[in-house]
Amino acid sequence: MAIVEEIQEAQTSKNTSVGVETMVDWLGSRISSYCGTRISEGETQKLDGIVRKRMELLSLHDPVHFFQLVESQSNEGKAEWDQLLSLFMNGETFFFRDSGQFALLKEHILPALIHRRKAARSLRILSAGCSTGEEAYSLAILVDQLLPHHQDWEVHILGIDINVQSIERAQQGVYGQWAFRKIDAELQQQYFQQHDSHWVLNESIRKMVTFQKGNLFADTFSFSTLGIDELDLIICRNVFLYFHADAIGLVVEKMMGVLASDGYFLTGHGELPPQAVRTLQAKIFPDSVIYQRPQTLCTMS
Ligand SMILES: C[S@@+](CC[C@H](N)C(=O)[O-])C[C@H]1O[C@@H](n2cnc3c(N)ncnc32)[C@H](O)[C@@H]1O
């Protein structure tokens, strides 16, 4: 019997009971089909712990009642779904994560884009799966360093993530010391103000970045959903690691639809399956591979 049917039957029959394990299986496949993520054995265990804690906190003893809550379209149901995603998603991130890739961006990719966009004075960047914002703000700091007069340009840096709690934290731009574990102290002091144990990002950098909730797998990518298109650079790192191969293919295709013909696409190392790589044009640098749409006529400067 399918999980949903089993649970629905339990809602109407006094003889059938549903265990937390069944609920967790159902939630795992629901999360997978909603977000594109793979649910391994380890993740099932993680979800099991989350569900048990949530039920305890909500004083729900019957897993069927938890199912009814998450399935309902009520405000409480939607909030519980968001809460589950927030607890389940791995949001590990920090400023300038992967120094090699940031060196590539600073020394080659962004200078080339800035040179090409000199006439239009516009730069459009997407940090997809941005978590709490460190990646998007690191990009903004690079733009600030490379383009000191960026106020005269239209610079759009957009961060999107499925985790609403991460998006809210990103919008605040306030970080603990652990977020700076790979940044040198001088840079940290230049761009952040210390308040007790926290560091507040300078307003001038914060203003360069906007954040919004978005589902890379389920949402359509267009000007109306993102507020920008013809993107110069899309960064999606340490996100596809958790996706199943078909979902990666679909998301990459959507991303290519909003990437400028000479724009760049950067993922974490080895995150794309061969079938996705085949649809892209790879540019190999010592620090990292970066991709473009196929058959582009642009040249690196
Ligand atoms: C490990 S973090 C990576 C953060 C940052 N890109 C980095 O590399 O430091 C992965 C992020 O992807 C987000 N994510 C996972 N599935 C998503 C989806 N379908 N749509 C949008 N964001 C998603 C998670 O919420 C999480 O914040």
Q: Are residues 122 and 200 in the same domain?
A: yes
Pocket test for ligand 1, best of 138, 161, 252 (most atoms within 8 A of CB): 161
Q: Are residues 41 and 136 in the same domain?
A: no
Domain-ending residue, one of 88, 107, 131: 88
Which pLDDT score, from 0 to 100, does residue 64 have? Answer: 86
Could you tell me the pLDDT band of residue 4, with boundaries at 50, 70 and 90? low
Pocket test for ligand 1, best of 30, 43, 89 (most atoms within 8 A of CB): 89
Atom 27, ligand 1: residue with shortest CA distance:
131
More confident residue, 2 or 108: 108
pLDDT digits (tens, 9 = 90+) for 42-79: 999 999 999 999 999 999 998 888 988 998 889 999 99
For every residue of the chain, which 3-state class applies, written as one string? CCHHHHHHHHHHCCCCCCCHHHHHHHHHHHHHHHHCECCCHHHHHHHHHHHHHHHHHCCCCCHHHHHHHHHCCCHHHHHHHHHHHHHHCCCCCCCCCCHHHHHHHHHHHHHHHHHHCCCCCEEEEEEECCCCCHHHHHHHHHHHHHCCCHHHCEEEEEEEECCHHHHHHHHHCEEEHHHHCCCCHHHHHHHEEEECCEEEECHHHHCCEEEEECCCCCCCCCHHHHCCCCEEEEEECCCHHHECHHHHHHHHHHHHHHEEEEEEEEECCCCCCHHHHCCCEEEECCCCEEEECCCCCCCCC
- Ligand 1 contact via 166 beta carbon (within 6 Å): yes
Which pLDDT score, from 0 to 100, does residue 73 have? Answer: 86
Q: Are residues 83 and 135 in the same domain?
A: no
Q: What's the CATH number where 106 sits?
A: 3.40.50.150
C-alpha 208: how far from chain center: 18
**Residue at 75 is within a domain:** yes
Atom 12, ligand 1: residue with shortest CA distance:
129
Could you tell me the pLDDT band of residue 289, with boundaries at 50, 70 and 90? very high
Pocket test for ligand 1, best of 175, 215, 239, 288 (most atoms within 8 A of CB): 239
Domain-ending residue, one of 55, 88, 121: 88
CB 18 within 8 A of CB 26: no
Q: Are residues 195 and 271 in the same domain?
A: yes
Distance CA 130, CA 236 (A): 8
Compute the distance from residue 79 Cα to the ligand 1 centre, in Å.
19
Could you tell me the pLDDT band of residue 301, with boundaries at 50, 70 and 90? very low
- Is residue 32 pLDDT above 70, yes or no? yes
Quote the number of domains for the chain.
Answer: 2
pLDDT digits (tens, 9 = 90+) for 139-157: 999 999 999 999 999 999 9
- Ligand 1 contact via 206 beta carbon (within 6 Å): no
Range in 60-64, 249-253, 260-264 the model is least confident about? 60-64
**Residue 119: which domain range?**
99-292
Domain-ending residue, one of 42, 58, 88: 88
**Residue at 244 is within a domain:** yes
- Ligand 1 contact via 89 beta carbon (within 6 Å): yes
**Residue at 298 is within a domain:** no
- Is residue 240 pLDDT above 70, yes or no? yes
More confident residue, 198 or 224: 198
Distance CA 161, CA 127 (A): 9
> What is the pTM for the complete model shown?
0.93
Q: Are residues 62 and 111 in the same domain?
A: no
pLDDT digits (tens, 9 = 90+) for 80-95: 999 999 999 999 999 9
Which pLDDT score, from 0 to 100, does residue 295 have? Answer: 75
Q: Which atom of ligand 1 is nearest to the CA of 247?
A: 19
Distance CA 147, CA 270 (A): 31
Distance CA 150, CA 115 (A): 13
Q: Are residues 33 and 162 in the same domain?
A: no
Which pLDDT score, from 0 to 100, does residue 13 have? Answer: 67
Q: Which atom of ligand 1 is nearest to the CA of 97?
A: 9
Tokens 């998006």, residue located: 167
Which pLDDT score, from 0 to 100, does residue 14 have? Answer: 60
Q: Are residues 207 and 147 in the same domain?
A: yes
CB 124 within 8 A of CB 156: yes
Q: Are residues 76 and 145 in the same domain?
A: no
Mean pLDDT (whole number) for 109-123: 97
Q: Which atom of ligand 1 is nearest to the CA of 93?
A: 9
* Per-chain mean pLDDT for the chain: 93
**Residue at 301 is within a domain:** no
